[in-house]
């Protein structure tokens, strides 16, 4: 079997215990780690530990008669993974697959799940202080799952969402 599922190396090591990294010592407590990706023009972040692996999309087998955010199933090293379009879950337009598209394989117990995102950007380590927890947002389906906003600098803004709830709901 050819391994088309290339694993991209994220910008920063995926897992590193905070204590082992001297840079991790930030004022205000342990650093938070987020995997960041884009959906459309917006950049989102999720808890890094929720992601097991990132792969390029292999051929997708559409499964008829399922809810529209189910893109189908894929085969990742012999195991069958349920593929979900995160855009649709968040009430955005359906995903359009291109070269930059990636699938985030999640670390959840229910079943093997992959999330299609437009582009993976980076892994961010931030001090809790730089994490705005009660943002005021305009109402949309995603708002309920927003847990905070990251502002790494003046021009950037990353919306941090709690994926666990969204996925739990989607799989139910």
Write out the residues near other proteins by the rule CB under 8 A: 1-2, 4-5, 7, 9-10, 13-17, 20, 52-54, 58-59, 61-66, 70, 72-75, 77-78, 80-82, 110-113, 170-172
* CA distances in angstroms from 80 to 9, 48, 171, listed in the order given: 23, 23, 15
Q: Looking at beta carbons only, is 8 or 137 nearer to other proteins? A: 8
Tracing tokens 């001090």 back to the chain, one arrives at 127
The β-bridge partners of 73 are 61, 82
- C-alpha pair distances (Å), 113 with each of 10, 31, 42, 54, 170: 20, 27, 23, 12, 11
Task: Let me know: does 130 contact 153? Beta carbons within 8 Å.
Answer: no
Nearer to other proteins, 40 or 49 (CB): 49
At closest approach, how far in Å is the CB of 50 from other proteins? 13
Type and span of the H or E element at 87 = helix 86-89
Give me the least distance between CB of 113 and other proteins, in Å please: 7
Smallest separation, CB 60 to other proteins (Å)? 9
Tracing tokens 């097991």 back to the chain, one arrives at: 52
Q: Quick one: 123 or 158, whose CB is closer to other proteins?
A: 123
Closest distance to other proteins from the beta carbon of 143 (Å): 24
State the distance between the two ends of the chain, measured CA to CA, in whole angstroms: 33
Nearer to other proteins, 16 or 145 (CB): 16
């Amino acid at each position: 079997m050819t391994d088309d599922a290339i694993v991209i190396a994220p910008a920063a090591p995926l897992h590193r215990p905070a204590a082992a990294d001297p840079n991790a010592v930030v004022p205000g407590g342990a650093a938070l780690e987020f995997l960041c990706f884009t959906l459309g023009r917006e950049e989102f972040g999720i808890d890094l530990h929720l992601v097991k692996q990132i792969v390029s999309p292999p051929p997708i087998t559409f499964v008829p008669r399922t809810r529209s955010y189910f893109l189908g199933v894929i085969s990742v090293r012999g195991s069958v993974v349920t593929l979900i379009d995160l855009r649709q879950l968040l009430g955005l337009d359906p995903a359009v697959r291109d070269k930059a598209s990636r699938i985030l394989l999640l670390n959840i117990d229910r079943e093997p799940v992959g999330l299609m995102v437009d582009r993976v950007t980076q892994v961010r380590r931030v001090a809790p202080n730089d994490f705005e927890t009660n943002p005021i947002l305009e109402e949309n389906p995603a708002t309920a799952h927003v847990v905070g906003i990251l502002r790494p600098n003046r021009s950037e803004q990353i919306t941090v969402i709690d994926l666990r709830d969204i996925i739990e709901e989607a799989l139910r």
